[in-house]
Structure 1
Amino acid sequence: MLVNSPLPHLTLADILERTIELSQAAAVILKSYYRGSSEDLQVLDKAEGPVTVADKAVDRHILAGIQAMCGDSCGYLTEETYQTGDLELSQEWVWIIDPLDGTRDFIDKTGEYAIHIALTYQHRPVLAVVAIPESDLLYAAIEGGGTWQITTDGVRKAVRVKQGKQITDLVVVASRNHRSEQLVQLLAKLPCQQQRKVGSIGCKIASIVEHHADLYVSLSGKSAPKDWDLAAPELILTEAGGKFTHQDGSLPKYNQGDVSQWGCLIASTGEWHQQILDACE
């Protein structure tokens, strides 16, 4: 269901265009840090993973741009500004931002890092951008409007997931750095055993949209993916024809106080989604 915009003078399409511009500028900032020295990153190891000056610089850039556009009409939830114990934001419209998804891959120079920006309405994403700087690609979507791939020189094309495979031939995209024994055991239960290792969740979902993989499974343990890890990639995938749900088939909800998305989540091309859910019980 399409919804109105949080701003009377801008449509969601207008807001998306401005968000794309912000994301493209943010990608340039990240690439400049990526090509610098490791010492320049000033890596700080935190309980939930490392953070760098690049995370913070891009967070400031994106947040300043979106707040200048939306002001107090929206709430803002970002990885770099969230404090443990924060309550659910009261606004119906909330921006959920990850300025650098895949910080470990950024530090390790795998190239598999991304920028996630999502606008949610009543706890569900309605607008999203996932930028992958090292691929010079950006993915953008509005609820009901499909998913578009955009190159740095402005070429746009609609993208859709690829279906038509047998379930045993599906390729699972798996994490490089977050592979608990529980997840390894769960993946071993699946009817498909081909795996492709990719870093950022944004990059994982892009690999499904670009037909390099068909399935992604997340399983929480001591920690779990956060709202900013999933909100933008979810809409990019579903508007491209895929599915993204909890193991019980329910849709993720965002900005509910606890930003951790506990349990098992499955993202797929949609064709064998129920069978994968059943296999993950």
Structure 2
Amino acid sequence: MNELLRSVEGIAVTAGNAIMEIYKSGDFGVDHKSDDSPLTKADLAAHEVIVAGLKTLTPDVPVLSEESAEIPFDERKAWKKYWLVDPLDGTKEFIKQNGEFTVNIALIENGKSVLSVVYVPVQEISYSAAVGVGVFKRVDGKKHSISVMKNSRFKPTIVGSRSHVSDEMKAYLDRVGQHEIVSMGSSLKFCLVAEGKADLYPRLGLTSEWDTAAAQCIVEQAGGHVVTLDGEPLLYNTKDSLLNPHFMVYGDTSKKWAEI
């Protein structure tokens, strides 16, 4: 598992390099999908790098990427193990050039994320995790373990989306009471919780399974939780739709975040 994790991290870095070439060029080639979400040259370039890398690494394991999401559930439901990929998570942040975008690669087994890498191309930082191996953050070539904040701050730090702020989220934050809010793009919100820099990430808006799978493994292996509003772990490939229910990401289980 350790060797596999290192190989996946290498694939994510290679995809990140492809993204950065386009990022620095300024020629993004922005298009829009049927749901009006943006699509750039960088999304497609990273997709090609990752799919090719994973097919070489594990030729018998199928790959579901945001850019190949048309695979029907009738085919997917037979998958016990597969790769779930968001080649460029935070395309809006990429277009804004604020650096808050990531490469997300997760290995799913029986509906659970068991190995993953979240790579931040602009900062050249990677988060990696695997069941039975642990969770790590690599900065400047140096790797160290991370963990969630088990005892929330008196005035909790709550991280939220920079590009998607729902009315439900605003109402929820009012009910929480005193807090510090940090706005962040992409799966970096999960990573802030995983390394103890934030206490809570409530997601009361739409996300897709490729948005969350890699970062969920990072959080869980750091001792945190990613659960639906019913308190159940977020699971993958259990239904026709690839949309997630609303969920909460946190470390401190003594706080009844969902009940608020």
Please give the TM-score of this superposition, normalised by the length of structure 1: 0.86
Q: Is the 8 A contact 1:171 1:192 kept in 2?
A: no
| Alignment match, 2:202 | 217
| Alignment match, 1:29 | 18
Q: Give unmatched runs, 5+ long, in structure 1.
A: 1-11
CA drift of 1:271 comes to 3.9
| Alignment match, 2:259 | 278
| Alignment match, 1:178 | 164
Instruction: Summarize the Cα distance change of 1:272–1:51 in structure 2 as closer, same or farther, 3 Å threshold.
Output: farther
Q: Is the 8 A contact 2:90 2:102 kept in 1?
A: yes
Q: Single out whichever of 80-89 and 24-33 deviates more from structure 2.
A: 80-89
**Count of residue correspondences:** 257
2:146 aligned with 1:159: yes
Deviation string, structure 1 residues 224-246 (Cα, Å, up to 9, x no partner): 21110011100101111111101
Q: In 2, distance between residues paired with 1:276 and 1:48?
A: 32
Q: In 1, distance between residues paired with 2:92 and 2:195?
A: 23
| Alignment match, 1:104 | 92
| Alignment match, 1:76 | 63
Q: In 1, distance between residues paired with 2:155 and 2:200?
A: 11
2:102 aligned with 1:121: no
Q: In 1, distance between residues paired with 2:235 and 2:196?
A: 27
CA drift of 1:214 comes to 1.4
Structure 1 counterpart of 2:200, one-letter code: L
SS at structure 2 position matched to 1:189: helix
2:3 aligned with 1:14: yes
CA drift of 1:144 comes to 3.0
Deviation string, structure 1 residues 172-208 (Cα, Å, up to 9, x no partner): 10111111212211222224432010011x2111222
CA drift of 1:26 comes to 1.3
Q: In 2, distance between residues paired with 1:214 and 1:109?
A: 27
Instruction: Summarize the Cα distance change of 1:109–1:175 in structure 2 as closer, same or farther, 3 Å threshold.
Output: same
2:250 aligned with 1:261: no
Structure 1 counterpart of 2:257, one-letter code: I
Correspondence 1:198-213 to 2 at 5 A: 198-200=184-186, 202-213=187-198
Q: In 2, distance between residues paired with 1:242 and 1:36?
A: 38
CA drift of 1:171 comes to 0.7
Structure 1 counterpart of 2:259, one-letter code: D
Identity of aligned residues (%): 28
Q: In 1, distance between residues paired with 2:194 and 2:109?
A: 24
SS at structure 1 position matched to 2:79: coil
CA drift of 1:129 comes to 0.5
Q: Single out whichever of 154-163 and 126-135 deviates more from structure 2.
A: 154-163
Structure 1 counterpart of 2:78, one-letter code: S
Q: Is the 8 A contact 2:225 2:233 kept in 1?
A: no
Q: Give unmatched runs, 5+ long, in structure 2.
A: none
| Alignment match, 1:6 | none
Structure 2 counterpart of 1:267, one-letter code: V
2:39 aligned with 1:51: yes
Structure 1 counterpart of 2:121, one-letter code: P
| Alignment match, 1:7 | none
